[in-house]
Amino acid sequence: MSLFINDKSYMNILHINYNDLVGGRFTGYYMQQSVDKSYNVKMAVWNKSSQSSHVHLIPPSNPILRFIADKTMRFSSRLGFDGLIGTGGWILPTYDFFKKADIIHLHLIHGFSNFSILSLPKLSRLKPIVWTLHDPWAMTGGCEHSFECDRWLTGCSPRCPHPRCTSLFQHSAPYLHWRIKKKVYQHANLTLVVASQWMQDRISRSPLLHHLPCHYIPFGIDLDLFKPKSKTECRKKLGIPSNNKVIAFRDSGLKTDKFKGLRWLLEALMIYEPKEPTTLLIFEDGKGFNDLSLKYNVILKGWVDGEDLVDGLSAADVFLMPSIQESFGLMAVEAMACGTPVIVFEGTALPSVIKAPHGGIAVPTKDSPALAKAIKLLLEDNELRKKL
C-alpha cells in the first residue's frame, strides 16, 4: 500500500516505544536506516539514548514536564496502575510528527513508559494503529507473562494470588486492569501483530483481544550483518584461547531475573563437567556467574550490538537461551544466522522459533540436569553441532 502525498508516493510511519536503542532491532529504530525511500520512519519514546533527529521525546526535554511525567509514572506504579495514568498518549496528537504520520505503530507501551492505554480509542480515531505485541501484557491484568496462571482467560479474579509486584493495590489491581482493558479494546480500532505462533494462539484464546484482526509476522534480521564469520578470527579478537569450546548467553541480571531462566542456566553450568577447556562468553551483566571462574574461562562482554554481537555469536559453539517465558526470542534467531545452534526450554515460543529439533535443542522447562546434558551433547558431538 502506498499513500500519495504532495505528488510523492511514500508512507509516514511513527513508531511508539519506551526506548529507541535498547530493543531497537525489533521496535523500529533501525528501520530508519533499512527501509527504502517509500517510507519515512520516525519514533516517539520516553527514554532516548540515540542522537537521531528522527527520534522524539514524549514529553520533550523540558525539565518541568519531564519531572511531572516521571512523578506521575512513579505514583501510578506505586498504586499498581502503570499503563493507565501516563500522559504520553494524550499529548501525542499535539505534535507535528504525529499529525504528519499516516500510520502509528505501537510497541512496548506498558511499564515505565508514560503511555496510557486509555488514550487508544482517541488515537485510533485519528490515525490507523498497528500494535506489535512483544509480550502478553495486553491480554492480562498487568502481567508481562502469566507463568502457570491462566486467570487472564477468565478476567483475573478479584484477588490476584500471584501479584506481579509490590504495590498498594497489588492483589486487586489486576482485576481492574483486565476490565479497563476490555472496555478500551471494545472502543479502539486496532490491528495486532505477533511474531510467534505461540503468541497468536494466546490472542485467539484471549477474551480481550480475540475480536481484533491479528497477523503473524516473525521478526526479521539483517542477513548482511548476521551471518557466520570465522570462529578462529572472532575468538582471536575476543581473547578466547583457540583450544577452548565456547558457551555464549545473555545475562540480564541473575538476581532480578524473572523470565530468562538464569537460575537454571547457572545450575546447569555447575552440573556440567567440561572435557575440554571451556569459555563462558556472557553478554550484558554476567556478575552472577563470577563464581564459575574456577571451572570456566569467563569473559564478560557487557552490552553489545552490531558487529560486536555478530563476533560473539560467531565465536560460540552453542548459545543458551533457557527462558521460562518468551514470546519470540530474537537473539536465538541471530545466533542461528551466525551458524551457532541454540538450546532452549520447552513451553515458550522458542522451540518453534528455532525449529527444534532441526535448528537446536529444546529440553523440559526448569530442568537443569536436562539442560546440562544438552550442553554436553552439543559441545562433545562436533558433527551434530555442525548439522544443527
Q: What's the pLDDT score for residue 2?
A: 41
Nearest-CA neighbor of 50 among 28, 74, 34?
28
Cell numbers placing 79: 498504586
For residue 5, what pLDDT band results from cuts at 50, 70 and 90? very low
Percent of the chain with pLDDT over 70: 95
Phi and psi at residue 318, to the nearest 5° = -150, 145
The predicted structure's pLDDT at residue 34: 67
230: Cβ–Cβ under 8 A, 6 or more apart, which residues?
314
For residue 107, with 0-12 CB atoms within 10 Å meaning exposed, 13-18 middle and 19 or more buried, which class applies? buried
What is the average pLDDT value for the chain, to the nearest integer?
Answer: 89
12-26, 116-130, 289-303, range with the lowest pLDDT: 12-26
* Mean per-residue pLDDT, 63-69: 85
Specify the amino acid at residue 121.
P
Beta bridge partners of 194: 216
Alpha carbons 127 and 103: distance in angstroms, whole number? 6
Give CA–CA dist 260/366, Å, rounded: 11
Query: Measured between alpha carbons, how far is residue 208 from residues 117, 141, 152, 188, 198 in Å?
Result: 13, 10, 9, 12, 17
Q: Which residue has the higher pLDDT, 67 or 228?
A: 228
CA distance 169 to 172: 5
pLDDT value at position 76? Answer: 79
Tell me how far apart the alpha carbons of residues 89 and 69 are, in angstroms, rounded to a whole number. 12
Q: Length of the chain, please?
A: 388
| pLDDT grade for 257, boundaries at 50, 70 and 90 | confident
When comparing pLDDT for 1 and 112, which is higher? 112
pTM of the model: 0.85
The three cell numbers of residue 254 are 541473575
The residue ranking higher by pLDDT, 54 or 159, is 54
pLDDT above 60 for 25: yes
Q: In this predicted structure, what is the pLDDT of residue 168?
A: 67
| Angle at alpha carbon of residue 237, lines to 234 and 238, rounded to 5° | 90
- Strands (E) in 10-128, as ranges, are 11-19, 39-47, 55-57, 103-106
pLDDT at 65 > cutoff 90: no
- pLDDT tens digits along 307-349: 999 999 999 999 999 999 999 999 999 999 999 999 999 999 9
Q: Report strand pairing: 8-9 vs 4-5.
A: antiparallel
Q: Is the pLDDT of residue 3 over 50?
A: no
Per the model's pLDDT, the better-predicted residue between 149 and 7 turns out to be 149
Short-list 112, 107, 52, 101, CA closest to 76: 112
- Share of residues in the chain with pLDDT > 90 (%): 59
Do residues 303 and 284 lie in contact, with contact meaning Cβ atoms separated by under 8 Å? Answer: yes
Name the residue among 285, 381, 300 with its Cα closest to residue 341.
381
- In angstroms, rounded to a whole number, what is the distance separating the alpha carbons of residues 372 and 274? 10
Question: All 3 cell numbers of residue 273?
Answer: 563437567
For the cut 50, the answer to whether the pLDDT of residue 216 exceeds it is: yes
What is the pLDDT at residue 35?
66
Beta bridge partners of 280: 247, 298
